[in-house]
Structure 1
Amino acid sequence: MSATKKTYPLLHLSCAGCAAKVEQNLNKYPGVSKAAVNFASSVLSLEFDAEAVSPADLRHKVQELGYDLLIETTSQNQTPRRSALGKALGALLLSIPVFVISMFYPELPGAHYWLWALSTPVVLWFGRNFFIRSFKQVRRFSADMDSLVALSTGVAYVFSVIQTFFPRLLSETALSGMVFYEAASMVIAIVLLGRYLEERAKDKSASAIRQLMGLQVKTAMLLRADGSSLEIPVNKLQQGDLIQIRSGEKFAVDGSVHSGYSLVDESMLSGEALPVYKTVGAQVFAGTINQNGSLVYRAEKLGKDSLLSQIIQQVQEAQNSKAKVQKKADKLAAVFVPLVLSVAVLSFALWLILGGEQALSLGLKAFITVLVIACPCALGLATPTAIMVGMGRAAQQGILIKNAEALERAKKIDTVVLDKTGTITEGRPRVSDIHWLNKDELLKPLLLTMEKTSSHPLSQAMVDFLEGSGGVKLSEIKHHPGLGLSAVFNKVHYYVGSLDLLHQHNIIPGPELESLADSWSSQANSLVWFAGNGSVLALAALADKV
């Protein structure tokens, strides 16, 4: 069996028990090798045999359970958080007066009718989905969090309505004159507020994925055979297309440089703060930034094959994975609702037997209380939300975590070994030391003027260090990609950059200077060489703060 891996959004999950129910049923479905539901993100991760079962079959099974599966992302609801906020605010606005009247003004003339008028929209309109979904679950001989809310608020509301409009039916009992409108309305309002907070937590948890997706550009400048350029959507690009990119733009796809040279910021991939020189043949990656210069590169890996898309997919898979503690919580949540219903019925029965004259009143209160407070949502939401936030935050910082279990084991780490310093530095190098071999006062303004022609971070650090030294007029300024730059002043050639640039022009530093360079390099310093007229004039050490 060739397994197909897919993730689909789930609708109408109200608790961790719902997630566990979907997961258990799909894992038993023929053709499905693995099903995992992340309640925090409402996402179903599947591994199945596409020849034995189709997404439509799986959706039908999920719908039989009382939920829904979005197999076409275009139909996904885009405003669950806004809808949850509207319901919560509406319910609270009506429930607060109900609570105030019940607690402080119970003797107000016509109080029961006022309470009924304010509570009815809360229970039957804002809370209608609790009853609809609960009814669907009852038809399947099942129960979930909605069942608890619907049963508790429904009993309180129906009893209060009978007390309001048919008081004689209960006139001979200890409950005569008692209503529970505030319990029914406030419970629904608070649960709806909790649902909104859950949606907000999910939304924040998914922000890392959205930020990574924001690195993907929508259009690219296609270079046509006649030399003209045309801006087209990225999804229209084909392998082998030549793409032109200007300074400050992001690369649209993975490829290789066809012509030109530039500095490219690859910090989102490597964590290295310093940009990388790219010349003909060098690999470039989608989402990285062309800092200066114009490049033409050839498209090689498109869409989901690009490195950035693979990173996004890995982060999504990691966020949807489950830690051991979460698996235990899900198992508990699966039996939690039936257990709560049993405890609530038992509490009611015990009060009826032992409660004396107030037996029915106390039993009803106990029944409603157990159903209301025993919400398993936090049990199923806390762990996956923490995992999503942690992994998402790590991805933003350039740290990819394989799965939830790896994150869980990370607490045992006592030593971290890094193979290079560029991933943990500020990205703002500064001149830590400079050694001049020539005391000519014209050399400082000359070096400053040369460094000002480059946008490389090391050049900017040199400019900051030499600022105020004055300037000179240069000619024949030339940039050497990956090496440095050269210029002519008073008919003399000067060079600034790496040691390789000096070697290319037959400039060899003496043993003492090489020893100094080795010493500075061993202290994790970057070196900038300055030479002219066939000899080394200065050596600078630049360091980036950890």
Structure 2
Amino acid sequence: MTAETTLRIEVQGMNCAACAGRAERALGALPGLHDVSVNFASGQARMVVQGTQASDVAEALKAVNYPAREATVTLSVSSMSCASCINRVEAALKALPAVIEARANLATETAQVRFLPGGTDALDLARRLSEAGYPARVKDEEGEDQAARRAAEVDEARRKVWIAGLLTLPVFALEMGSHVIPGLNGLIAGTIGMGTSWLVQFVLTTAVLIWPGRKFYRLGVPALLKGAPDMNSLVALGASAAWAYSTVALFASGLLPEGTRAVYFEAAAVIVTLILTGRWLEARAKGRTGAAIQRLIGLQPRTARVERNGEIRELAVEEVAVGDLLHLRPGEQVAIDGEVTEGNSYIDESMITGEPAPEAKGPGDTVVGGTINGDGALSFRATAVGRDTVLARIVAMVEEAQGAKLPVQALADRVVRVFVPIVIAVALVSVAVWLMVGPAPALPHALIAGVSVLIIACPCAMGLATPTSIMVGTGRAAEIGVLFRKGEALQRLDEARVVAFDKTGTLTQGKPAVTQITVSDNWDEATVLRIAAAAQGKSEHPIARAMEDAATRQELALPKVQSFNAIAGHGIEAEVDGYKLLIGAARLMTREGIEIGRFESAAQDLADKGQTAIHVAIDGEYAAILGIADAAKPSSRAVIEALHARGLRTAMITGDSCAAAQAIADELGIDHVEAEVLPEGKVDALRGLQNRFGATAFVGDGINDAPALAQADIGIAVGTGTDVAIESADVVLMSGDLAGVVNALDLSHRTLRNIRQNLFWAFAYNTALIPVAAGLLYPVTGLMLSPMLAAGAMALSSVFVLSNALRLRGLRPVMEGHA
């Protein structure tokens, strides 16, 4: 059975949400495709593919007039020696879901590939072919990235606006100039004559429609003929109606009733010019919505210093392979993910984790491509390249989230699906009503009402309302270290009523620490800790590391150990600096006949707090009792308080003892505790919280908590830089700091609020202005909405929605991380 894979491609020709809906339905009808989502704002389609060919996808989109963007690349291929090699090369390329066509040429040692960008790229094709045993490199790459295409779209839109504006200005001045300059009409009539004026307007307006405005006809007319009108159809109908009426009035005025001879060329020209202006502003704003992705992509350097055969060479980052040894100078960017083999330095990982403090790096530590080295020099071994790097996975996650459709968008989609046909029907009804009951001359009034309805009702704002906010919100979240792996998590997180936490490694440090030391009268704390930590240096137990860490924090010099012996189930015995030590549980003291005495109560207090009591005897005398516990992270209490301030309940689910769990819960102020829960029991504990309180978010380390993360309404994985549980969570926090939970909730809330504002504006705008455009206020005010004003209002509606979404770029973390 063919494996499923997620495919993202770029779709062209979409101008409104109705276009996206039609493209989505066309893809959804293909066998082997499911979970199809087409995003109007990003111009991308996402689908899960099983067995469907890329050529079928391209044909399905082409059939509905929204072709997929295609690209062609030529690869230089080595090791091809016969016809069977050609077949294998072509088969390896065609096996990729985004490849439409692949042709290999043995004579030129090349392969030409036609593919759908977004689903793959030239470098990935070369890498896949190399993995198949035929080393390949890009020979003639298209080289155009999304940012460059966006810039080209903006330039093209601006050029059309200038052309349309220069052609429209004389038309507008000839017809409407008298409203600004008294007597202009008389001057025109007395010089060139009104007939010549109308003829000039006809020529210039026709040029506007067939030159900068031709796209409305090229896309809108076929859509209308197929019975699936879109925004282009509305503009084409509206502008054509004004132009056709005016042309008849100019060249065949006898066909019109007496008193109705007038021209509206300026309306047709201005409509097209204003809508093109709106498209230009839209293109500029839409380019900025994807700025976060472009910034992330731009983090990776172009070259790397690689050591091969004992020689250090500067290579393109695409040529770096797993296992290569790379050298990093002070102040340079890390080129690729890897593991440090030599050197010590500090790395600024803020662009990945959102945490401002640089991280110390030494042999054995991981480094991430795109981060910035400090003052030290490092050598590191490449561990991931291409799409497997942390940065590439982050970009993929953000793109996945940005292409998602939220439940809140469902209503807008249903409305948009029937909106354009309804608008055309309303426009026709408006024309009919004005012709039947309108004041004389009725025909011009009917024309104005019909054209205004067609123009003002274009559903651009509705289609942009949700996806633009998602794009900006998730992009900004990624920049501060919060990755919404699934776009739907934006809405589900805003609906959460409970936030449940795993304890160990999530709320706590994840390793034991010395919390208190109580010594007998004959000893001082520093001496006991110094020799006990030295003795524990020979032990592998986590508690031993806790004692060593405590001594290190106090900057104690540890003496040498003369002898050491582990006593299974009890503790250790050792000789350090001339002292004979026993360190371990109470049963070790009992076995050796050492009286604990007054320290019994201290041991009981530690037990009540859920801490482990470690007893120390020196030279046969009881010396001290140490409390060992997994301490809470510095940010944990502040995070719990911030969640309570937002009206959320908090819970903790842990396998620890009730006493240990309750001690942490009391320290942090957690509302509800589920303790002594086996790993498989966490899912049942979560179900209980969901049934009792409602939507529940679960925060875990994302590795051993995968079932719980999947069961929760929203799974939040707390990463530690590169250790990110991509597959199990809906939201990933790139740093290990819980402040990211509060920031994720805040981003979710603000993004959803922004979406609701956009949807309200889009719906309210259309609901309110369609009746006005139809002439509902004429009996009261004697005024009708000009088609030119309708075009301007329609363009401004989309610009308002985009501008409102772009405000999310300024979001700041509401809670800073704790070191």
TM bucket, shorter chain: 0.7 to 0.9
Deviations 1:507-537 (A, max 9, x none): 9xxxxxxxxxxxxx9899xxxxxxxxxxxxx
Closer/same/farther in 2, CA of residues 27 and 544 from structure 1, 3 Å limit: closer
**What SS does the corresponding residue of 2:155 show, helix, strand or coil?**
helix
What is the 5 A alignment of 1:123-162?
Answer: 123-162=209-248
Whether 2:199 is the aligned partner of 1:113: answer yes
Alignment partner of 2:335: what SS? coil
Closer, same or farther: CA 415–396 of 1 in aligned 2, 3 Å? farther
Q: Deviations over 1:97-142 (max 9, x none)?
A: 4233322334523321232233222122110111111222234232
1-structure distance, mates of 2:470, 2:296: 17
Q: Which runs of 5+ in 2 are unaligned?
A: 72-116, 118-141, 179-184, 190-195, 503-550, 561-632, 637-815
The 1:234–1:363 alpha-carbon spacing in structure 2 relative to 1, beyond 3 Å, is: same
Matching residue of 1:99:
172
Q: Quote how far apart the aligned CAs of 1:360 are.
A: 1.8
SS of residue paired to 2:35: strand
1:437: which partner in 2? none
- Shift in CA distance, 3/194, structure 1 to aligned 2, threshold 3 Å: same
Task: Describe the superposition over 1:434-486 as per-residue Cα deviations: whole angstroms up to 9, x where unpaired.
Answer: xxxxxxxxxxxxxxxxxxxxxxxxxxxxxxxxxxxxxxxxxxxxxxxxxxxxx
**Consecutive unaligned residues in structure 1, runs of 5 or more:** 420-497, 508-520, 525-542
SS in 2 for 1:40: coil
Q: How does 1:130-529 map to 2 (within 5 A)?
A: 130-170=216-256, 172-176=257-261, 178-226=262-310, 228-355=311-438, 357-412=440-495, 499=552, 502-504=555-557
| Aligned counterpart, 1:86 | 159
Look up the match of 1:54: 53
Aligned length: 438
CA distance in 2 between partners of 1:523 and 1:374 (Å): 51
Q: Distance in 1 between matches of 2:259 and 2:349?
A: 75
Matches of 1:242 and 1:100 in 2, distance apart?
70
Secondary structure in structure 2 of the residue aligned to 1:321: coil
**AA aligned opposite 2:379:** V
Question: CA offsets per residue over residues 160-196 of structure 1, 9 Å max, x none?
Answer: 12222333333x43312x0011110111111111111
TM-score under structure 2 length normalisation: 0.50
* Whole-angstrom CA distance in 2 between matches of 1:285 and 1:270: 11
The aligned residue for residue 22 of structure 1 is 23
Letter in 1 for 2:15: S
For 1:30, the aligned partner's letter is P
CA distance in 2, matches of 1:188, 1:418: 56
Secondary structure of the structure 1 residue equivalent to 2:394:
helix
Are 2:634 and 2:818, in contact at CA under 8 Å, matched by a contact in 1? no
State percent identity of aligned pairs. 36
Query: What secondary structure is seen at the aligned counterpart in 1 of 2:268?
Result: helix
Name the residue aligned to 2:64.
Answer: 65
User: Quick one: which amino acid aligns to residue 173 of structure 1?
Assistant: E
Question: 1:443 — aligned with what?
Answer: none
Deviates more, 1:321-330 or 1:303-312: 321-330
- Quote how far apart the aligned CAs of 1:13 are: 0.5
- What CA deviation, in whole Å up to 9, does each residue of 1:247-282 have, x standing for no partner? 111112211111111111122233332222211111
1:382-415 alpha-carbon deviations (Å, 9 max, x no partner)? 2111111111111112221233332224445689
Distance 1:278 1:545 in 2: 19
Q: Give the secondary-structure state (helix, strand or coil) at the position aligned to 2:346.
A: strand
Does structure 2 conserve the Cα–Cα contact (< 8 Å) formed by 1:216 and 1:287?
yes
> C-alpha deviations, 1:210-266, integer Å up to 9, x for none?
00011111111111232x200111111111110011111111221111111111112
State the partner residue of 2:521.
none
Alpha-carbon distance in structure 2 between the residues aligned to 1:31 and 1:136? 28
In structure 2, the CA distance between the partners of 1:414 and 1:506, relative to structure 1 (3 Å rule), is farther
Residue 494 of structure 1: aligned partner: none
Alpha-carbon RMSD: 3.0
3-state SS, counterpart of residue 33 of structure 1: strand
Matches of 2:332 and 2:204, distance apart in 1: 57
Residues 8, 71 of structure 1: 8 Å contact kept: no
Which piece of structure 1 moves more, 105-114 or 366-375? 105-114
Alpha-carbon distance between aligned partners in 2 of 1:291 and 1:40, rounded to the nearest angstrom: 39
Would the alpha carbon gap of residues 275 and 136 (structure 1) be closer, same or farther in structure 2, given more than 3 Å must change?
A: same
Tell me the distance in 2 between the aligned counterparts of 1:416 and 1:97: 64
The separation in 2 between residues aligned to 1:191 and 1:522, in whole angstroms, is: 54
Offset from partner CA, 1:18-65 (integer Å, 9 cap, x none): 00011112112111112111111111111111x3x2112111111110
Change (3 A) 1:418 1:32: closer
Contact 2:224 2:230 in 1 (8 A): no
The aligned residue for residue 441 of structure 1 is none
Distance 1:288 1:522 in 2: 25
TM-fit CA distance, 1:326:
1.6
| CA distance in 2: counterparts of 1:346 and 1:272, whole angstroms | 60
Cα contact 1:55–1:71 (8 A) shared by 2 = no
Structure 2 residue identity aligned to 1:54: Q
Distance 1:71 1:413 in 2: 41
Shift of residue 500 of structure 1?
5.2
Counterpart position of 1:431: none
TM-score scaled by structure 1? 0.74
> Contact conserved, 1:220 with 1:234, CA < 8 A, in 2?
yes
Are residues 16 and 318 of structure 1, via their aligned partners in 2, closer, same or farther at CA, if it must alter by over 3 Å? same
Deviations 1:300-358 (A, max 9, x none): 11111111111110011001111112222122111111111111111111222222542
CA deviation map 1:48-83 (0-9, x unaligned):
11x3x2112111111110111024334774511111
